[in-house]
Structure 1
């Protein structure tokens, strides 16, 4: 991060020197650098937000999946108890009605528990999917901000090379492409 800040400071210094020279092209290049820096900072912030959202959604997914796993374990326990009462009913015909009532109670409770476990599983899957969407956006934004940073560096070459136009044109192309790539992150 410190390296990135010092690099931006160096580009800014080149732009300031160019601005003081009074040459129209160098003033335009300096303005281009400033605009690209603002867009890069904005895209970088979006990149950070998407990264945090990806981590958050995936963490939430794990927590919900743990709750679903707990529900499935509880469902299995209820199923075992139901089966034990079914066995007891067959082994003790005199208490068959009481054992059958207990077995049906566990069966009914098990259905509710199973439905809740399935619901939690679907919720976990949805959160995981949302996390993956945020992660994909993060990756696309990373490419966009990288292109913008390269554009800033290339624009600085125009100043260093005393007004050569091709680095400025290349910087504007990189800036436009970087901005379009960043915008595409939200079209996906």
Structure 2
């Protein structure tokens, strides 16, 4: 009996071509994942730096507000002392001057408190963006290890929310 020959050369070439195509596609995906993760890491670093800056500024503004409130109290004490002085000249002009200065000091103290609150709000938004970027990086790492593209896409969703918080923290 004669052996039947099945032409497999063409089959081997097709398998080899498909394997190369799959490898090229995976290389592109891995490269895209690596680049997107690196960009997210850069955004996380910038957001972390800015979050720390706004935290410091919030603290400085709160200290300035506290200083102004202490100054406000000092002017109030001076006004009270002047109004209680006995036997001297009329001190109502001095008392009125201190009360007027207190109003200006109060305005400055409230302005510093407002600035502190604004910086703290930006700090919170930027800190959220850092957290979301870190989650993105972790999910991307799991994605590359498990070769699951859907995890990378999920990570990109976290990154989009992170970018939203980042931009909100800048405004």
Instruction: Provide TM-score, normalisation by structure 2.
Output: 0.81
Distance, in Å, in 1 between the alignment partners of 2:144 and 2:111 is: 50
Corresponding position of 2:112: 127
The residue correspondences of 1:144-183 to structure 2 (distance < 5 A) are 144-162=129-147, 164-183=148-167
Root-mean-square deviation (CA), in Å? 1.4
1:94-133, Cα deviation, whole Å (9 max, x unpaired): xxxxx6xx11xx1111111111112111111110111011
- Pick one of 33, 40, 43 that aligns with 1:29: 33
Gaps of 5+ in 2: 1-25
In structure 1, the gaps of 5 or more residues are 1-21, 86-98
- Aligned: 1:68 with 2:82: no
For 1:43, the equivalent position in structure 2 comes to 47
Q: Which residue of 1 aligns with 2:23?
A: none
Within 5 Å, give how 1:90-129 maps onto structure 2: 102-103=89-90, 106-129=91-114
CA distance in 1, matches of 2:95, 2:170: 43
For these two proteins, the number of residue pairs brought into alignment is 146
Q: 1:77 aligns with which of 75, 81, 99?
A: 81
Once residues 160 and 102 of structure 2 are traced to their aligned partners in structure 1, the CA distance between those partners, rounded to angstroms, is: 48
Using the TM superposition, give the Cα deviation of residue 49 of structure 1 relative to its aligned residue in structure 2, in angstroms. 0.6
Secondary structure of 2:106's aligned partner: helix
Quick check: which has more Rg, 1 or 2?
Answer: 2
The reply to whether residue 184 of structure 1 matches residue 168 of structure 2 is: yes
